[in-house]
Structure 1
């Protein structure tokens, strides 16, 4: 039986949804999205339940290794809202590297990365939670070439800020575009590989 052509999807994962189709725990899953995914569709990498934004799905089992297990680094960019105003010293620390705890209990110093303060995104990324008006915050645009477990959250915590929102907006040249939370866009294979800077 011919399984048909390989397919590729871009999803704006909503806050509170798991990055998987099956889970032993209650909660929203990818299968709850209003889309008829073909058999064999799986997420390429993950966003944790409380993170939002760009999630890639495909029926091509090779893409995860090409994108996240390759020796060639791939840029991932996040919009991050942190509690309180961030000063120049904290920004410098994030840009040059901070020490975080990793799985297994060891310590890891993050490599230099791109960090800048940006204006709040407003209606482009409506907040899934209502934060009190008196809370001050800073929005950052952070670009990394690696993605250890909860790395961005641990990085901002290392400079004494709490992560309020974490939205992945792009991987290399593939971005969310105008997708709203819960929306899906299918991509042609050539475009998908070209924008992710992957070799077939």
Structure 2
């Protein structure tokens, strides 16, 4: 580098001094930052003090495979079904209207309801045919059918129990049982023997409670 006179030399000296001061300032800032970081790292240790490892780790020994979950909802559903189960020993005779077709209506339901039901006032929305089923199968099928229809908001259904012409002694095995089962279902408001066009003595028209609003 060529230096022209004392003035250029002074300028170079000043620049070198400024560079050195900047470098010293940066180094100082770096050291202060490192010191602050180290202090933050040591903050927990200084606050807690000296520590010693525990002689007894006191760890719980868990099974390697978790136990199977309990089917609580399934148990609740089974309990509900048992509570709503229908009995074959229920005496329905005193609850039937002693007309020629032995209709049924719950207390508080007027006779006009059974008259309207018999006349076809409500359209048949669902049907269950119990032909060919054993008594226990028919009982279970009827309970599930009534429960499901009511849940869907259906008001009028037909239950076909048959006239018993194919049964021993030509007696309707299921007719009396179906009447007894229906009386025990809280969803049933009334039932009547179907009109000839709807099955006559081999079927019942059943009026269900209105479904509750959600």
Bigger Rg, which one: 2
Relative to total residues, which structure has the larger strand share, 1 or 2? 1
Structure 2-normalised TM-score? Answer: 0.22
Q: Please report the TM-score for the alignment, with normalisation by the length of structure 1.
A: 0.23
* Structure with the larger RCO, 1 or 2 (CA within 8 Å, 6+ apart): 1
